[in-house]
Chains A and B, each alone.
Chain A
Amino acid sequence: MKNFIAKFWAILSIFLLLGSFMFGQQLQDLLMKAPFMHIDPSYSGGEIENTIESECYTINIHKKVFSALIGEGSEGFRQITIIKNDSTVNNYNIKTFAVDSLTMIKIVDNVPEVRKGVSSFTIHEIGISDKKMIFRIQEKR
């Protein structure tokens, strides 16, 4: 009996393996229902809090992210995603827009300048393509 069960399981393994490739998409969809199947906001940029629409651009202002393994970290970021609505526009140039009551952003020739109260600074790490510009502003709790 033990022999039979072991041999049966070994042969069944082959069919389970073939099934996992054959029904890969269904298994992926099933896995997607697992509670952990979300990209961490430190990579996805987090939820969108506000959207500003103009003729040339759609500006998505994301919620502040303070990602940590447990609870929230003291340092984080806020992601800004700018999508081109007009493909004829070359460089990203946007007059000042408000992110929140304290933070204003101006973009001149693909370079975002952030003003927080009286101090201003330039963003260094920018993800830029023909369609989209993404950058992150450092935030503290």
Chain B
Amino acid sequence: MENRYKTTGKIPRSILATLPMFLIIFIFSTQGNIAFESTADALAWAVSTAFFTLIFFLMLYKGKTDKYRAIAFGASALLFVVGFMANLIEIRGSINYDTNTIYNCDIPFCHIVTTMVIIPAAIKQTIIFSGNLNEGFASIASMLVIVIAAAVLMGRAFCSWGCFYGGWDDMTSRIGKRPIIKKINSSFKYFSFAMLILMALWSAESLVPQYCNWLCPFKAVTEGEKIVDGVTLIKNIIFYTMFVALVIVLPILTKKRIQCATFCPMGALMSLFNKINIFEISLDKEKCIKCNKCISKCQLMAMNKDHKPSITCAKCARCIDNCPSEALNYRIKGTSAKVSASTARVIFLYLAYSFMVIFLGSCARGGLETIFKLIF
């Protein structure tokens, strides 16, 4: 049987196609200056560059996208947490924020906050967040530029290729062979849209980003609020409970990315951008044998009953990799069958993986550097 993709099983072709990605990784990780602050920094650069290059090569050579994407995505999510915490400790001496941090507008801006600042930005012309506008670590302007670029160019693919939180439940949902909770109503995925509307309105009314204030599970692994009274204690209990339930336990039991699929308002916002995104996953109805594997394997519950991806598809390619009849493929919208699945896949991979290696790659490198500093 002929290989599905032009690079599959062909080493020279895969190496050749990996070269541009290696250059992207090299240029963005060195910023054109091969000078390192320490041995740990040099080692972290070498390991992360080799790792991300190898993963891209394997995607092309083996012809499997999701399997290798998940490795890079999960590793980046774990290393991001390590690097982020180390950075906070270096800057402010603690991973917790308190009144001093809030009054000094020193809180790093996270992409999820975008969903809550839109309405006040439009009506009141101000950003309701206690962060730095254009200076320092994770400034508001820098994150907004990244979010806008990701939304327009990738749509919800951001949630499977670029979000430094997404790797967590992507990893945990792969633990174990079979789901313990087998039947989940896929309509739950629309709850994230309810969350988006609720959080946007509640935050606008109160001028406080309420998802971050009360509900974000990832506060448990990034920066939590310092416990100073009953309210901050309750908040921390909620953050940790949410993390354990939505990011660890439920994904293991269901083998679905429950936090990302049903709860994250950012996922819902990015889904809306799928409509204007040039890439999609398309179904060849003639090839489809209606085995429902795509529906059962999709971690975001994004596959409709007619085996076509819904608006919430994050283009992770798990359905493509698991389709026994090769009926699902990446496709550039507006192109006919003449533009092969292989071409569409390679162009999409260059786009999505570039985002991953530049945005998450720097996080991974930071985490590795921290680990190497601890070891040596």
Contact = CB atoms under 8 A, between A and B. Distances in A.
| Chain A bound to chain B | yes
Interface of A: 2-3, 5-7, 9-11, 13-14, 16-18, 20-21, 24, 27-29, 31-32, 35-45, 67-70, 79, 125-129, 132, 134, 136
B46 to A, nearest CB: 21
Contacts, number: 142
B269 to A, nearest CB: 17
Contacts of B144: 31
Given A6-B334, A20-B146, A11 B124 contact: no
Interface stretch (B254-262, B289-297, B349-357, B368-376): B349-357
B201 to A, nearest CB: 10
B120 A40 contact: yes
B335 A17 contact: no
A6 B333 contact: yes
A45 B130 CA distance: 10
Contacts of B134: 28-29, 32
Interface of B: 24, 28, 98-105, 119-131, 133-134, 139-142, 144-146, 149, 153-154, 204-205, 207, 278-279, 332-336, 338-339, 343-344, 347-348, 350-351, 354-355, 358-359
Contacts of B103: 45, 79, 127, 134, 136
27 contacts: A3-B339, A6-B278, A6-B332, A6-B339, A10-B278, A10-B344, A17-B149, A17-B354, A20-B153, A21-B28, A21-B359, A24-B142, A29-B134, A32-B134, A32-B141, A36-B121, A37-B133, A39-B126, A39-B130, A39-B131, A40-B127, A40-B129, A43-B128, A67-B207, A68-B207, A70-B124, A127-B104
Contact of A17 (B122, B153, B205, B338): B153
Nearest to B142: A28
A3 B338 contact: yes
Contact of A18 (B24, B102, B154): B24
Contacts of B279: 10
Contact of A40 (B141, B207, B334, B338): B207
A121 to B, nearest CB: 17
Interchain residue pairs A-B with the least CB separation, the first 10? A6-B334, A127-B100, A127-B103, A40-B126, A36-B121, A20-B149, A28-B141, A134-B103, A43-B130, A127-B99
